[in-house]
């Protein structure tokens, strides 16, 4: 598929600017004609290297939050969906997102529902987003659902921003460690290696290892840089896939510090998403199956699917939560309250808010929790370096 930028006229003579995905230019013109558009000019839009880098980043969460909030405002103001999409597509500076929005606009103008059009772009709009839009179309409450969805996305984005802010200090220290290591291995160790060679001193094993690593880095620096870039690109590409997100999330789930944070974040996402779906009148079984596809932890994902099966058989949701080890007692107890009061969505939203507060406290203490680990790692690296350098010098001085 290629992306074509076009200028066209509608039946009223108004100029339309946009982009369309098609296998070739003739098919692109045919698609536009099917939308009652007369093509004035059309050309294939070639992606530059920088466009490719931007597409690698995907659509930032902040961009999607802004889109949802503005879309909600436009629908509330009485604008048609197609017109709203056209405005939003022209506003965004993210080329990948612009392409997706205009693709959705093309499908909507061709007679597709908004939810079906968004479902064609699962790399941007997940199953929860699509299900909520579908519920809004069915219930006629698109405005309310978009407002709630935008608010939830803003809360999640704020939490992710706090997490990134808390990681700045550990990241800076870690990068400084790598910088010091590279300076030592590329500039300092080669000079010491020449000094030791001239003195014909027997080197300890750790010093030989360090000199060998230094020689490799100096001799094959281009392989190291190339390998690092290819690895970073591959990891980034993989992390953008559903399988990649689940894989890296499972790793985080098992780490000492990040495991508890990830678990709490998943529980907050589970309860908030389920609350949002139930409030949008999505059937509980369907809502649980959707949530199962949203959460990335395998245990929670299996538990959500099992819960859907149990509810479908006529069992209560709270009873399954109480039996499952994947859910803490709080979720089971509050689900029982929701079943008794008939306000499951409100109760689950309160649970999500509780986990948000707990998560906020964990994130604030993240730097303090990581500091001992960083100091230990730094101490091991510095100690190894000192022993590798000092031991031969000590042997030289004691031999005289």
Higher pLDDT, 296 or 327: 327
Could you say which DSSP state residue 41 is in? E
Number of domains the chain is built from: 3
Q: Dihedrals φ, ψ of 166, to 5°?
A: -70, -25
User: Which position has the token pair 């880098």?
Assistant: 53
Predicted local confidence at residue 260, as pLDDT = 87
Task: Give the structural domain span for 14.
Answer: 2-46
Domain-embedded: residue 74: yes
Asked, for residue 128, whether it belongs to a domain, the answer is yes
Degrees, nearest 5: CA angle 155-159-162: 140
Q: Does the pTM exceed 0.75? A: no
Tell me, yes or no, whether 64 and 123 share the same domain: yes
Q: Which residues contact 40 (CB under 8 A, 6 or more apart)?
A: 6, 7, 8, 9, 15
Cα separation, 261 vs 257, whole angstroms: 7
Whether 51 maps to a domain, the answer reads no
Lowest-confidence region among 43-47, 297-301, 344-348: 43-47
Q: Are residues 92 and 135 in the same domain?
A: yes
Residue 77 CA, distance from chain mean position: 31
Mean of the per-residue pLDDT values of the chain: 85
The proportion of the chain whose per-residue pLDDT surpasses 90, expressed as a percent, equals 24
- Is pLDDT at 201 greater than 80 in this prediction? no
287 is a domain residue: yes
Helices 127-139 and 258-279: angle between axes, nearest 10 degrees = 20
Is 34 found in the same domain as 100? no
Question: Measured between alpha carbons, how far apart are the two ends of the chain, in Å?
Answer: 75
Inter-residue contact 292 to 244 (CB < 8 Å): no
Q: What is the CATH number of the domain that holds 76?
A: 1.20.81.30
Is the pLDDT score of 318 beyond 80?
yes
In the chain, the percentage of residues whose pLDDT exceeds 70 is: 94
7 with 70, same domain?
Answer: no
Q: 3-state DSSP call for residue 9?
A: strand
238 domain residue, yes or no: no
Single residue among 122, 155, 188 that ends a domain in this structure: 155
């Amino acid at each position: 598929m290629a992306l074509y930028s076009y200028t066209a006229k509608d039946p009223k003579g108004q100029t339309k600017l946009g982009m369309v995905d098609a296998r070739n230019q003739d098919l692109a013109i045919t698609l536009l004609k099917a939308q009652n558009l007369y093509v004035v000019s059309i050309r294939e839009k070639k992606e530059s290297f920088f466009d490719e880098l931007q597409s690698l980043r995907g659509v930032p969460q902040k961009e999607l939050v802004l889109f949802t909030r503005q879309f909600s405002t436009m629908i509330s103001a009485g604008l048609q969906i197609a017109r709203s999409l056209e405005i939003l597509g022209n506003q965004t500076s993210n080329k990948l997102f612009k392409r997706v929005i205009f693709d959705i606009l093309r499908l909507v103008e061709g007679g597709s529902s908004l939810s079906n059009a968004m479902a064609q772009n699962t790399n941007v709009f997940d199953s929860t987003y699509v299900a909520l839009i579908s519920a809004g179309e069915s219930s006629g409450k698109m405005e309310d659902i978009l407002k709630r969805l935008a608010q939830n996305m803003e809360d999640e984005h704020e939490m992710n921003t706090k997490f990134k802010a808390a990681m700045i200090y550990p990241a800076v220290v870690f990068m400084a460690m790598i910088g010091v290591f590279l300076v030592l291995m590329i500039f300092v160790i080669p000079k010491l290696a020449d000094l030791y060679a001239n003195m014909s001193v027997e080197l300890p094993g750790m010093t030989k290892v360090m000199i060998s690593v230094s020689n490799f880095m100096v001799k094959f620096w281009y392989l190291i840089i190339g390998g690092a870039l290819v690895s970073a690109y591959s990891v980034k590409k993989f992390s953008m896939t559903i399988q990649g997100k689940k894989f890296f999330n499972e790793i985080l789930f098992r780490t000492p510090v990040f495991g508890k944070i990830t678990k709490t974040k998943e529980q907050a996402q589970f309860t908030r998403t389920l609350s949002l779906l139930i409030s949008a009148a999505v059937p509980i079984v369907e809502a649980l199956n959707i949530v199962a596809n949203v959460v990335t932890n395998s245990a929670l994902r299996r538990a959500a699917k099992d819960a859907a099966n149990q509810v479908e058989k006529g069992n209560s949701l709270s009873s399954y939560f109480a039996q499952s080890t994947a859910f803490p007692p709080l979720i089971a107890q509050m689900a029982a309250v929701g079943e008794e009061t008939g306000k499951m969505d409100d109760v689950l939203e309160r649970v999500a808010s509780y986990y948000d507060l707990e998560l906020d406290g964990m994130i604030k203490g993240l730097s303090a929790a990581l500091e001992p680990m960083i100091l230990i790692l730094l101490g091991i690296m510095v100690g190894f370096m000192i022993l590798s350098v000092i031991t031969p010098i000590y042997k030289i001085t004691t031999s005289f």
